[in-house]
Amino acid sequence: MTRFRGSFPLSSPGRFLAVAGLAVLLCLVTLSGCTQPVTPAPGPVSTTPPPVTTTQAAAPTQAATTRATPIGQQTYLTYTNSQYGFSISYPSTWTKQENTASSVVTFTAPTSGAVGVIPATMRVSVDDLSANPMSLDQYRAAQLAKKKSLDKFNTVYDIPYKGNGYSGWRLGYTYDTGVIMRTFDTYAIRGTTAYTVSFTSRDDQFASYTVQSDTMFKSFQLI
C-alpha cells in the first residue's frame, strides 16, 4: 500500500471525519462571533433641554354689577345699590322692584297665580339716623317696640347676628293678618345709616323658603 506523508489516503474514512470535524468547528466559531453583543459607539450628548409645556391662565373677567351665580339647583342674581352702599343676591325667578313703599328694593317670590296667595318677599330698607344717631342695640329696641303693635305679635328670635362683613341683630316674629305671617329682620348700622333686611312669608310656608332666605341673608353686604 502506498502512503502519503502528512495526509490520509483518498479513500480513508479518517480523512472524511477530519474534514467534517473541521467544518463543525468553523461553524461554532462563526456562530459564537455572531452572538456577541454589539455595543454601539457613544453618540454626541445633546445639551438642548427638552421643551417645557405650560398652561396659560385664563384672563380675569371684569365683575358685573348684576351677575348670575348658580347655587345648588337655583341661579341667583346679585343686586348692587351704589347709592346706599349694599349688595344682595336673589333667586333669578323672583321679581325685583325698587323704591316700593318704605323699601329701597323688594324681591318677590313667584306664585301660582291663585287668588288669595301671599307671596314671600325679601326687602331692604334704609333709615337715615343723622338727626337722631343711635347704637345698634337702641335701633333694635326701637324696631321691636313698633313690631309689638302687630296683632298677635310673638317673638321667635331676638339674638346678635354675624353678617357678611358686619355685626348686626336678628329679630324673628310672627303676627296675624288674617293668616299667620312670619318675618325675620336683620339690622345693621354703618355711620348714621341703618339697614334692615327683612324676609316675610306665610308661617305655614316659611320652611319651604329656608334655602332661598338663608342664601339672601348671607349674601347681603355693605360695600
CATH number at residue 124: 3.40.1000.10
10, part of any domain:
no
pTM for this structure? 0.67
The pLDDT of residue 12 is 43
At CB < 8 A and 24+ separation, what contacts does 165-172 make?
165/221, 165/222, 166/190, 166/221, 166/222, 167/136, 168/136, 169/136, 169/137, 169/140, 171/140, 171/143, 171/144, 171/147
96, part of any domain:
yes
15, part of any domain:
no
Give every CB contact of residue 158 below 8 A, 6+ residues apart in sequence.
144, 170, 171, 172
Nearest to 195 by CA among 105, 90, 108: 105
50, part of any domain:
no
14, part of any domain:
no
* Mean confidence (pLDDT) of the chain: 78
44, part of any domain:
no
> Which pLDDT tens digit goes with each residue over 163-185?
999 999 999 999 999 999 999 99
Confidence band, pLDDT 50/70/90 cuts, at residue 149: very high
Provide the grid cell at 183. Answer: 318675618
160, part of any domain:
yes
195, part of any domain:
yes
Give dist(CA 218, CA 220) in Å, integer: 6
Residue 120 bridge partners (DSSP): none
> Which pLDDT tens digit goes with each residue over 88-121?
999 999 999 999 878 999 999 998 666 677 899 9
Statement: residue 128 has pLDDT above 60? yes
Residue with cell 341703618: 194
Domain count across the chain: 1
Q: Residue 87 sits in which domain range?
A: 68-222
216 three-state secondary structure: helix
